[in-house]
Amino acid sequence: MRAEASALRSLEAADAAWFGRALSERFPGVEVLKAEPGTIIRGMATKAQYFLDYNEAGRAHGLPRSMWLKAGLEAHSEASAPLYAAEVNFYRDLAPRLAINSPKTFFEAIDRETGSGVLLLEDLTLRNVRFGRPTDRIDLAGAKRVLELMARYNPVPQLPQFAGGKLAWLEAASAIDTANVIDLYLGFWDTAALQPRFRHVPNALMDRERMRRAVHAMRDNDRFGPRAWLVHGDGHMGNMFFEQDGAPGLLDWQTAMLGDWASDVSEFLVFSLDVETRRAHERDLIAHYLAALGASGVAAPSFEDAWLTYRRHAAWSFLTVMCPVEMHPEEVCTIWAERACAAIVDLETLKALGV
């Protein structure tokens, strides 16, 4: 039955019978009498909200009136199958065992033929959460709570309960290396240079080859390092939600990978704080993160080592200056370019990378 339910190739196939097969694996006796699509979001993955009517068994299980289907059903999805599978593995193997805030899942499966993943996820609108937007600015109290969240999941590969091959599906750097994201994005330089975002690029960052060397140097430092941390890989405000009490959570775990903690921390602080707030408080925030790491039961880096690593990882944010508008609208690219370029200059990132 799992193979049948996992082999979802189109939204049209996600009818009431399919939902019944998928949900009955975890909730015996469930039949879905009606499945009505709601909001549909097409991007890196296909996300579709469904409103469901159940038989008596489904109602007895307390299944919600709506949930989200997430799968790779786009024209480009075949090449991204490992990403969808990684997210399934995260929700199946890690999320239930971590003290983090993430959506509940009702079905997770990987298509045996394509290697792609399919998920049925909690509809967080039923919890009245607030969804972040990529351009949002977070306050200091909120930033500290997000860093505490990251300090709970970043050290997972080092914890004894996850030893013995239990995370064998986690790959180092995931699609970032295999898709050669650095050269792909820097190849958009001439197009990006015509956009409003480029007014935020100072002369010090206008040397294309130097910037290429800088981002590659950052990746090389990671590639030859221990990669001992669980990294979300896309931890900006647009992939976050907040409970009514302000507790943060992260969405879109398809880029989960082994890497350096600073990948997540740098991306979050650079893109989620306004420039002046970051300048005034980033040292204290790094210290706060390191203290939270220690509370998670692992040995945190020294502040000096952590500060250098953080400075170096700001280089990655430069790629958003080149981001194609198919990925993010110009408004997002412009705001991110301002924050990224300011951080790279402030932190003397190129000097820290030796380029």
Domain boundaries defined on the chain: 2-127, 130-353
List pLDDT tens digits, range 274-330. Answer: 999 999 999 999 999 999 999 988 999 999 999 999 999 999 999 999 988 777 889
CB 76 within 8 A of CB 175: no
Average pLDDT, whole number, for the chain?
Answer: 91
Q: What mean pLDDT comes out for the span 76-80?
A: 69
17 has pLDDT over 90: yes
Rounded Cα distance, 302 and 304, in Å: 5
130-353: in CATH 3.40.50.1980 = no
pTM, 2 dp: 0.90
Helix, coil or strand: residue 122: strand
Integer CA distances (angstroms), 41 to 11, 13, 236, 327, in order: 12, 17, 19, 13
Closest CA to 173 of 294, 82, 79: 82
Furthest-apart CA pair in the chain: how many Å?
A: 67
* pLDDT for residue 103: 94
Rounded Cα distance, 179 and 40, in Å: 27
Rounded Cα distance, 100 and 247, in Å: 10
Amino acid in the structure at residue 181: V
CB 260 within 8 A of CB 313: yes
Please state which of the ranges 68-72, 104-108, 206-210, 224-228 shows the lowest mean pLDDT.
Answer: 224-228
* pLDDT for residue 160: 84
Pick the CATH number of 2-127 from 3.40.1360.10, 3.40.50.970, 3.30.200.20, 3.40.50.720: 3.30.200.20
CA triple 2-250-304, angle to 5 deg: 130
4 has pLDDT over 80: no
- Burial (Cβ within 10 Å: 0-12, 13-18, ≥19) of residue 222: buried
